[in-house]
Structure 1
């Protein structure tokens, strides 16, 4: 009986241990499962605003998390740069036999850094730390701009879906109207065939628009690490289409951009590296203090020593030359960065201005005229005054105008997002704090 109880108890204990080890393995492996942290935890159907999308991306983006880890690495390097050299303890024995004579020397040596090497190392580590933070700021600005572009790309794709659905609805109505007129003998069956082909084309356009919308939402969700498309409905922000900052104002604000700040920090970092190379030219001093004891005479003597390298051959001239060239390169890179930013700002501003003019023109003239022509064609077709080909032409013109309008909106959104890469503006992308342009 006792042996049976012992076996049963051992079995229960083994089962508990297996369960515990399984749970521990699952908990330990959960953080290393690929894609596990990328799953979206927000299952609500509340609308997703542009500000919420930016905030979520900035707080959960893997790219920014990697940049933050680089900052932590730089902090460790800064701590290490402030460490002083460790003392060295040594034992020197002359002779191995105590009968014939043996001398033991105990020494404690300390390296004394001259030329303010420690201060130069600390300064360089601090500048390197600041440069990594600058990289993080640039990554955040890039991420913010990419989220804005992706958000409006998803909005534009949604509008394309709505436009394709409306086009399919109108095409279906035109097909039904053509069928009725063919049955009544008023038009040729060829007109009904044309309308059926137009309806099939509209159905294909709707299928393509739905696929593009799903891809755009997946692209948007990828910025906060999700592997699934964003299911929350998007909210189109109130955008003032006339609020585009002037190009000279953008250029004056460019000096405060993350890219230019990082370029200036890069110059300071290379100058700190140069100072470190200059400090390394000064030889260090090693001070030794010890005790020497003779085993035969039992006499002890104090040992004091000083050692310093003679800079006859290696005076760190190669590293100094390299540091000087690094400073020159950093200044050249800053100039290149500024020129590229000026060009990017000019291009984005030009695209935004052109797209704005297109939007205003299409709102005031093209879209109303196309809608009026389409309505007149449909009414005339129902009354028998126009042929179905006229309705198709008017419908094609109307939807092409709407598609161009959406393309102009998308181009303006993308240009504003490009401005966001260099110029910090408010979350409401269209309402930039500046005077409006005059035509």
Structure 2
């Protein structure tokens, strides 16, 4: 029994080093090859590589995001739209020749300048400026979307990474215990059935390890694509600072954030759309007033041998086309924008309620797992190891206790990820930076 306990005790030391909810910040120089093979990079003290934090991933994603670059181009394009909206009509140079004979030829040269009336130019500029503001808010909304996507991908990768580590530890334990059971069978101390059961359990654990590695590669690929990097170049995930920043949303902070709902990007966009539609309605109303064209020029009569001044004024008569159709369309679209604003207000309020409830539920689950579930699962695992050492528990019972601990830690990771994903969704809804933490005391993670 003592010989069997030696490898098991060594493995227990290994798993207790893997189990704490923290990520070491050193990887080996062959991390690329290990990542491509689906294995986590080996740690080495010779070549320290900083672990990847959520803040670093977010900064890289904001820097390399093609969506943000496209949105920035929209912002710059809207500047051109404002400039063009303020442009005045160009003058028109006209020339007219009467008679082709030199002796009786009359040549007229004149300059025609259209003059806009009714405030058309001011209405165009107002509508273009409102559209430019909308594009700026859309850019901010895309930044919030990128932050939310990175948060989700970061935690998906963190969960997959820790699942691989736990599956590796479980596989090593299963292999060592299976070997120990085989030796006990050879010594005639246990039935060969125990050896078969141990090998079946080991195969099941190996399958779980293969699945975990596959999910980890997929998660790394998604996170790397958001950051503009290859999945094989990513450092291990460091989410320990986020464990220590699990905070509850206190009522004061909730009221403060609720007051910011009026400035949510979606509501600002909807209000600006109402203003823009109103400006476009004003523009169509102004277009009902005809513009005049003033003409100045000179006329040279070869037959009379003198120049004559030409002065003209053109005024369209709005008899048939009074722009009534465009005015009606603009008014109805303005009504639609106002209805959309009311609907968006309801939608934002509902999203706020759902997100805050979801965050509080996830936070409560994290606290329960930290304070009750994880310590109990850890205690049960240690008791199972001790009982296995004394011959009171079988290998399968010990493995079952280990799996319970693994499942508890995986559940903790999922709850922690859900909490931070929800915080990112709140950030996206309010258009604020996710780093704006609520003023509440932090609660340390279970060690």
Question: Would you call these one fold, judging by a TM-score over 0.5?
Answer: yes
Task: Within 5 Å, give how 1:158-307 maps onto structure 2.
Answer: 158-236=161-239, 237-238=241-242, 239-246=244-251, 248-307=255-314
Aligned 8 A contact 1:45 1:231 in 2: no
Of residues 155-164 and 131-140 in structure 1, the stretch that sits farther from structure 2 once superposed is 155-164
Aligned CA RMSD, in angstroms, stands at 2.4
Aligned 8 A contact 2:60 2:228 in 1: no
TM-score, normalised to structure 1, is 0.82
Give 2:41's aligned residue.
Answer: none
SS in 1 for 2:299: strand
- Structure 1 residues 132, 293: CA separation in 2 closer, same or farther (over 3 Å shift)? same
- Structure 1 residues 229, 126: CA separation in 2 closer, same or farther (over 3 Å shift)? farther
Aligned 8 A contact 1:108 1:290 in 2: yes
Q: CA deviation at 1:425?
A: 5.3
Out of 371, 381, 384, which is 1:364 matched to? Answer: 371
Task: Within 5 Å, give how 1:272-421 maps onto structure 2.
Answer: 272-421=279-428
Q: CA deviation at 1:245?
A: 5.0
Rounded Cα–Cα distance in structure 1 between residues aligned with 2:71 and 2:441: 36
Aligned 8 A contact 2:388 2:394 in 1: yes
Aligned length: 392
Q: List structure 1 runs of 4+ shifted beyond 6 angstroms.
A: none
Give 1:69's aligned residue.
Answer: 73
Give 2:19's aligned residue.
Answer: none
Rounded Cα–Cα distance in structure 2 between residues aligned with 1:106 and 1:132: 45
Rounded Cα–Cα distance in structure 2 between residues aligned with 1:328 and 1:345: 26
Aligned 8 A contact 1:220 1:230 in 2: no
The answer to whether structure 1 residue 107 and structure 2 residue 110 are counterparts is yes
Rounded Cα–Cα distance in structure 1 between residues aligned with 2:280 and 2:54: 42
SS in 2 for 1:421: helix
Rounded Cα–Cα distance in structure 2 between residues aligned with 1:168 and 1:414: 31
**How big is each residue's C-alpha offset from its partner over 1:418-438, in whole Å with a ceiling of 9 and x where there is no partner?**
112123555547x4236899x
Structure 2 residues without counterparts, runs of 5 or longer = 1-47
- Structure 1 residues 260, 229: CA separation in 2 closer, same or farther (over 3 Å shift)? farther
SS in 1 for 2:111: strand
- Structure 1 residues 88, 104: CA separation in 2 closer, same or farther (over 3 Å shift)? same
Rounded Cα–Cα distance in structure 1 between residues aligned with 2:137 and 2:433: 21
Rounded Cα–Cα distance in structure 1 between residues aligned with 2:130 and 2:434: 31
Rounded Cα–Cα distance in structure 2 between residues aligned with 1:92 and 1:241: 81
- Structure 1 residues 233, 387: CA separation in 2 closer, same or farther (over 3 Å shift)? closer
- Structure 1 residues 98, 423: CA separation in 2 closer, same or farther (over 3 Å shift)? closer
- Structure 1 residues 348, 184: CA separation in 2 closer, same or farther (over 3 Å shift)? farther
The answer to whether structure 1 residue 97 and structure 2 residue 88 are counterparts is no
Give 1:129's aligned residue.
Answer: 132
- Structure 1 residues 178, 147: CA separation in 2 closer, same or farther (over 3 Å shift)? same
Structure 1 residues without counterparts, runs of 5 or longer = 1-43
Q: CA deviation at 1:241?
A: 2.2
SS in 1 for 2:100: coil
Rounded Cα–Cα distance in structure 1 between residues aligned with 2:185 and 2:133: 77
Task: Within 5 Å, give how 1:119-158 maps onto structure 2.
Answer: 119-158=122-161
Q: CA deviation at 1:115?
A: 1.0
- Structure 1 residues 166, 61: CA separation in 2 closer, same or farther (over 3 Å shift)? same
Rounded Cα–Cα distance in structure 1 between residues aligned with 2:250 and 2:82: 41
Out of 410, 433, 439, which is 1:433 matched to? Answer: 439
